[in-house]
Structure 1
Amino acid sequence: MNKTDNLISTIEAMLFASGDPVEASKLAEVLDIDIETVEKMLGHLSALYDERSSGLMIIRIDNKYQICTREKYSEEVRKLMEIKKNTPLSNAAFEVLAVIAYNKTVTRSFIEQVRGVDCSGPISSLVQKGLIEEKGRMDLPGRPLIYGTTDRFLRCFSLNSLEDLPDLPKNDEIDSIARDESQTSLFDNENKNDILKEKEISEIAHIEEE
């Protein structure tokens, strides 16, 4: 085995063992090579999977890489792992997810002002499902928690980053709520959850809504 093949196999083993997305810089650090070489080897590995019609593929999420199964084999994988199909996310969960995704990081109080109702249930459910997570606290009285989306959210919606979200529709009636946190709502009652639903794929469709 030549040096290039050995590097590709080593990176493949590292990604497989990790399970979670891994930064190219971390791979480079462990292998003691430059990031450009790592990215080149990842490209080779991805091409090899494509050439042999492998059930695996390499995906990139922000600057992280992960091995995952191809969507076309998802049904068989679910049967093997005895994963039952569950109901899709509720409209409330989609609305909360959309508010967080398009505003990057927000507090619970901001989400509740946008939606006009208590959001503790949908937020808790989305955290449990790994679609959103706590990103810290704001330097305000009470130090409210800040929520943002996760890498799993990006994988579920086939996004490399939040910058790849579809553009919001132009609507003169879209509500804008100015907050002390200098945040602004980007949604009206009809459009705020439809944007993400257009990006829904099989994995998110079968996440159990508790």
Structure 2
Amino acid sequence: MSFEKPQIFIEALIFASDKSITEEEILQVLSDIMEDPLKIEEIREHIERIRVKYQELDLAIELVQINGGYQFLTKKDYYQVVNQLQIQRSKKKLSQAALETLSIIAYKQPITKLEVEQIRGVNCDYTVQKLLEKELISISGKADSVGKPLLYSTSSLFMDYFGINSTKDLPQMNELKSETNTIGEQTE
């Protein structure tokens, strides 16, 4: 490996770091692999050249000094589009509990939270609240039973999320492949 261009290695270190990396950390890494280690002033010069390079190029990222170190960040001009990506990704992430609760609501809708809890066997307050926040379910009315509990159903966003036109497109129980557990030998 040639170390004739330490600037490229410094750029790679900054890029690969998941948090800001200090000049001292860069010096330590490079001194472990280079025969003739750089001085801290040389590292600062290379970092400044990298910063200028990214500033001059029409790129979406820039080198920023943050928390005593350096990190590549998206330019502020692109905040809106990156923020939208984060919103989309946060909507896509569902925990196992959320998936279980959502599937119960999808197949049994309209359903009360108590009925969901009886099927799952655990409290579903938090999960139902998160599904409401993600707009995957909605309140579709109140039950006629004692206390008039809220009824939950899937939303139109649920259909978009799973790429279906209606709940009729959900897999039927006989379509789902089940694995059966058996003990001992099976005879036909």
TM-score range normalised by the length of the shorter chain: 0.3 to 0.5
Q: Which has the higher helix share?
A: 2
TM-score by length of 1: 0.42
Which one scores higher on RCO, CA 8 angstroms, separation ≥ 6?
Answer: 1
TM-score by length of 2: 0.46
Name which one, 1 or 2, has greater alpha-carbon Rg. 2
